Amino acid sequence: MQVAVCLTSFNRTDCARISMEIIKLNWARQWPVVHACSDAGYTAYIEDVLVRREPRPLTVGAADLLLASINAAVTDLKVDYVIHLEADTWIFNQNVIKRYLDQLAGTPGAVIAASSWSTDCVPAWKRSPRLGRRLRARLAGVLRPFGLRYGIRETKSLSTQFFIAKATPDFLQMLSTIRVKDDDFLEKVLYTAVVERFGRRAIVDMPEREPVHPRFRHACEPLSLFCQHWPSAEDAPSAETHPDLTLADRLRGKKECLASASLKRHGPYMQQLLTSSDLGYYNGNAKRSG
């Protein structure tokens, strides 16, 4: 089984370098890293293949980086499977990925393993000043024990932030046909493309993270996945501006998650994050919330 990690970054390059250190210095199975980056100021680090791209608007740029990284992995490295990670999405436990690789390999017709990019509306409904929404929250509490997913939206989507896929010619060709505008929902576009080409059975779900928003948006311990945008707890958004954040989210940023991961080896970018008293440098001018 030939596997490559496809890492994509725009301006979160400190996150990207630490992700590489997690992968290259701490994962037991040695998989090459293909890094597609649209930051003109980025200098190559420990990736095996660096693919430079022009910066583009958010959604269009994300789709471009995604296709460029996977195309390079297939063309240059001849891999059977790809793991896509956005730069700020760290996975500490490689066994999580190996488990889903085995599921993909053992499931006839399976092409991609991913969570959706879904939203649980109930937390917001409970806080709403509108009586109707608060009543909907109560109704969800009645219906969900019976298996109904009332109040969960955007389930027909695939997380582009982290997925694992069979790197078949058909999958690569499907990706190459995706066209997006910047107000598109890339996760929904990918879901539609996969289902239209391969059918719903092609998707291996990741139930550990369902629904993603708000509880698992920034961290999902069962997947050892952490993707906060803020470098430390001191930089975390407030409860007033981001009421969906859990207490755990506000008490940890990248620094705290890295410190608690107990990794055997720390690279220089890890050390800088863990020891710097001023994290103003981290990821330059990239957005630190949301």
Q: Using omega within 30 degrees of 0 as the cis cutoff, is the peptide bond preceding 211 cis?
A: yes
Query: Quick one: which of 272, 268, 195, 214 has its CA closest to 24?
Result: 268
pLDDT grade for 119, boundaries at 50, 70 and 90: very high
Cα 25 from Cα 161, distance rounded (Å): 22
Please tell me the predicted confidence (pLDDT) of residue 47. 98
CB 92 within 8 A of CB 254: no
| Helical axes 169-177 vs 58-77, angle rounded to 10° | 160
State mean pLDDT over 260-282.
Answer: 97
pLDDT grade for 1, boundaries at 50, 70 and 90: confident
Please tell me the predicted confidence (pLDDT) of residue 19. 98
Tokens of 76: 């240059």
Q: Which residues pair with 204 in a beta bridge?
A: 113
Residue 142 has pLDDT above 80, yes or no: yes
Please tell me the predicted confidence (pLDDT) of residue 290. 73
- Domain spanning 3-116+157-217: CATH 3.90.550.10: yes
3-state DSSP assignment of residue 11: coil
pLDDT grade for 289, boundaries at 50, 70 and 90: confident
Mean pLDDT of the chain: 96
Using CA of residue 203, residue 171, residue 96, residue 87, what is the dihedral sign?
Answer: negative
Using CA of residue 33, residue 80, residue 195, residue 147, what is the dihedral sign?
Answer: negative
Please tell me the predicted confidence (pLDDT) of residue 205. 98
Q: What percent of the chain has pLDDT over 90?
A: 96
State mean pLDDT over 50-76.
Answer: 97
Domain ranges of the chain: 3-116+157-217, 119-153
State mean pLDDT over 269-277.
Answer: 97
Cα 150 from Cα 117, distance rounded (Å): 16
Half-sphere exposure of 128 (CA within 13 A, CB side): 15
Residue 68 has pLDDT above 90, yes or no: yes
Least reliable range by pLDDT among 121-130, 133-142, 235-244: 235-244
